[in-house]
Chain A
Amino acid sequence: MLRGVRGRLTLTIIGLVALTSLVLGVAAYAYVATSLRDQQVEAARDLTNFNVSVLAAERVPPGTARDDRRWKSLVDAFTLRGVTGTVVDFGDGDPFASGLDATSDFRQLSPSLRSIAEGGSIGYERLTVDGRSLLVTAARRAPDEPTFYFFFDASEVEGAIQRLGQALAVGGLVLVLVAAVVARALARRLLDPVRSAGNAAERMATGDLSARLDVESGDEFGRWAASFNRMAASLEATVAELRAAEARERRFVADVSHELRTPLTALVNEASMLKEHLDDVPPGGRRVGELLVADIARLRALVDDLMEVSRFDAAAEQLQPTEFDLETFVRAVVRAHAPDAGVAIGPHAGQVVADRRRLERVIGNLLDNARVHGEGAPIEVAVDLTGDVRGKGELLVAVLDRGPGVPPDELPLVFERFHKADPSRHLGGSGLGLAIAREHSRLLGGELTAAPRTGGGMRFELRVPVTRSLPMGDGTVTGDEQAGAALEPNTETAT
């Protein structure tokens, strides 16, 4: 969810806010804590100074014995002035203590505090005992006098500092959360144009050239969206133009081949009559007549193929499945297109339901192609059915020649319209036969492939789904003789 530019943008904003609030919070915390503590130390020092220099000097003169009652009253006076605990260290290892746990707290003090006090200055130290924050000051009047340690309760100040820290932390966290929400919204808003542009581009990629962007603002995104829209509009216009041109072209091909039919019909019949009377033509004109007849046949084949191709382009083709006997059919097609071809019928061939006319066009065109390119070498046709005896099956037809074959890099092109294997050779044929064969194969839901044949030549293979059926038994007449209740799928029926 946080991937991509939007995620990175969101994370960056959150990071910046977090860093800023952390720095500000830490600085504020440090400043406030330091000044609070300094104030406290200052007040403690003042009181210590007053206690030692004024109170102690007034009430306990130098040289007073340690068991004198005046020490006790002095310490009471200290307590009255706000000291939580007092320790008077006479340097004999038995300090006089007053206030809560003052004796044990005293033992935790560092030696440096003592040496500062013995040096004549006022020292202080912070101490935490059992969660209690204490500020301890130390001072003495004169080198041979006892050292005073005053314990002040610092928990109020420390508590305040702690609460400040908590408040700052909570505030920072809230800030980061708010930043996260704002950052996501901001990133979404910023990147919305990018997202909708992405969607629009995706729509265009899938063929919807009418996709456009909303030009909402005058900023960079708005200008970009306007450019995108201009690009899309010009692309759409160009594609529409190309499609119209293509449609015109196809229409033109259809019209041309259609218009050619009438004169061609006359030509074809004139040629066929001329052919019958060629013997009556003087020798000088006979060869010309022969050529004319052959060329008209070629022209007819080309126009027929063009018509067929333009019907594919018009998508006016419908399947017409009928039931027929596979072997009879294949032998008839071979007889019509390449009578010398060897035919191998597989053991499973039988009655099938398929669009026979289309199959005839595919197999016939493959045979024509093999005949034209096969250089007189024998053509072989192999036919078989796979699948269940009844129901769905696959028809497999292989047409093999021993012609020069096709270079591997040209193999994918053999089914292109007007692809010529060798432009320098004129072998006849319209150049549309294999293209037509493939179109029919597709319409049949099958597949037509070309591959080099081992030992030279080509192997064209057609695979088409067909419905298999047994020869009609009861009461069906499939020829002059009735096919009986035949159970073998391979039973031949006379036709």
Chain B
Amino acid sequence: MAARILLVEDDPSIREITTLGLTAAGYEISTAPDGRAGLALFRAEPPDAVVLDVMLPVLDGLSVARAIRAESSVPIVMLTARTDTFDVVAGLEAGADDYVRKPFELPELLARLRAALRRTSDASPAVLRLGPLEIDEGGHSVRRDGREVTLSHTEFRLLAELARRPGQVLTRDLLLDRVWGYDYLGDSRLVDVAIQRLRSKVEVDPANPQLILTVRGAGYKASRPDPGS
């Protein structure tokens, strides 16, 4: 079944040509010209991924991203006119999983969408444990002490990558490759912001993480299980 994409973009030309391109690539597209219409359409026909312009009339892209993220784990790819730290980081913090810089070419957007829609990179899904977390790769769900924790697709894949190799340092490049599908020159801010969001959901004290640790100058690692347990 073709994946359904919601495209929220105010410029009619971009909307039309992107619709043409994505349709030709085999996706099923619905479009909205402004933030409010986009959010309404998202709720009416939940898509498999959202392509969201940052600068939108009525309701801006960051607000739409926050609203979607509050109720769904769907992948969000942001279209940004600038690559300034502020724009990109603000978008990622609002809940976007990835971004494409304008002017983009269709293959770039397709690559980002494919990576975002990829469910899991592991051929044999398993149930992983990380401290109090129970990560079910097959069911795509995370429980903390038995209670469900809502993660976005990207956050889930990031957590699974780390939890699969407890105690090993994973470089940002490796994570960009495994989770986001960048094989060359990914933006390391994607990793850093996603780690922050992930920590805010799974750590007791996100400012003092116990499960997902930063290794200075290298990357991140999941904590090893306690030797005693």
Interface, chain A (partner B; CB < 8 A)? 258, 261-270, 272-273, 300, 303-304, 307, 311, 316, 318, 320, 322-324, 332, 336, 353, 356-357, 360, 469, 472, 475-479, 482, 495
Instruction: Identify the closest chain B residue to A265 (Cβ).
Output: B103
Interface, chain B (partner A; CB < 8 A)? 11, 13-14, 17-18, 20-21, 24, 79, 81-82, 84-85, 102-107, 165, 167-174, 177, 184-185, 187-189, 217-219, 221
- The answer on a CB contact under 8 Å between B103 and A477 is no
Residues of B within 8 A of A270 (CB): 13, 17
- The answer on a CB contact under 8 Å between B169 and A472 is yes
CA distance A266 to B177 in the complex (A): 28
Known pairs A262-B14, A265-B79, A270-B17; list 10 more (Cβ under 8 Å). Answer: A267-B103, A272-B106, A300-B103, A322-B173, A324-B173, A356-B185, A472-B171, A475-B168, A477-B165, A477-B174
Min distance, Cβ B160 to any Cβ of chain A, angstroms? 14
Which residue of A261, A316, A482 contacts B81 across the interface (Cβ within 8 Å)? A261
With A262-B11, A318-B85, A332-B184 given, is the CB distance from A268 to B219 under 8 Å? Answer: no
Residues of B within 8 A of A300 (CB): 103
Total A-B contacts with CB atoms under 8 angstroms apart: 97
- The answer on a CB contact under 8 Å between B185 and A261 is no
Min distance, Cβ A45 to any Cβ of chain B, angstroms? 114
Instruction: Identify the closest chain B residue to A307 (Cβ).
Output: B82
- The answer on a CB contact under 8 Å between A266 and B13 is yes
Min distance, Cβ B57 to any Cβ of chain A, angstroms? 13
- The answer on a CB contact under 8 Å between A262 and B169 is no
Min distance, Cβ A405 to any Cβ of chain B, angstroms? 31
- The answer on a CB contact under 8 Å between A269 and B174 is no
- The answer on a CB contact under 8 Å between A263 and B13 is yes
CA distance A320 to B174 in the complex (A): 17
Residues of B within 8 A of A323 (CB): 171, 217-218
Min distance, Cβ B125 to any Cβ of chain A, angstroms? 19
CA distance A214 to B169 in the complex (A): 67
Instruction: Identify the closest chain B residue to A263 (Cβ).
Output: B13
- The answer on a CB contact under 8 Å between B171 and A265 is no
Residues of B within 8 A of A475 (CB): 167-169, 221
CA distance A261 to B104 in the complex (A): 9
With A262-B14, A273-B21, A477-B165 given, is the CB distance from A360 to B185 under 8 Å? Answer: yes
CA distance A353 to B172 in the complex (A): 13
Min distance, Cβ A219 to any Cβ of chain B, angstroms? 58
Min distance, Cβ A403 to any Cβ of chain B, angstroms? 27
CA distance A96 to B200 in the complex (A): 136
Instruction: Identify the closest chain B residue to A311 (Cβ).
Output: B84
A-B contact pairs, 25 of them (CB 8 A): A261-B102, A263-B13, A264-B102, A264-B103, A265-B102, A269-B105, A270-B13, A272-B105, A272-B107, A273-B20, A273-B24, A303-B103, A320-B189, A322-B188, A323-B171, A336-B184, A356-B185, A472-B171, A472-B218, A475-B221, A476-B168, A476-B169, A476-B170, A478-B173, A478-B174
Residues of B within 8 A of A303 (CB): 103
- The answer on a CB contact under 8 Å between A269 and B18 is yes
Residues of B within 8 A of A263 (CB): 11, 13
Min distance, Cβ A6 to any Cβ of chain B, angstroms? 56
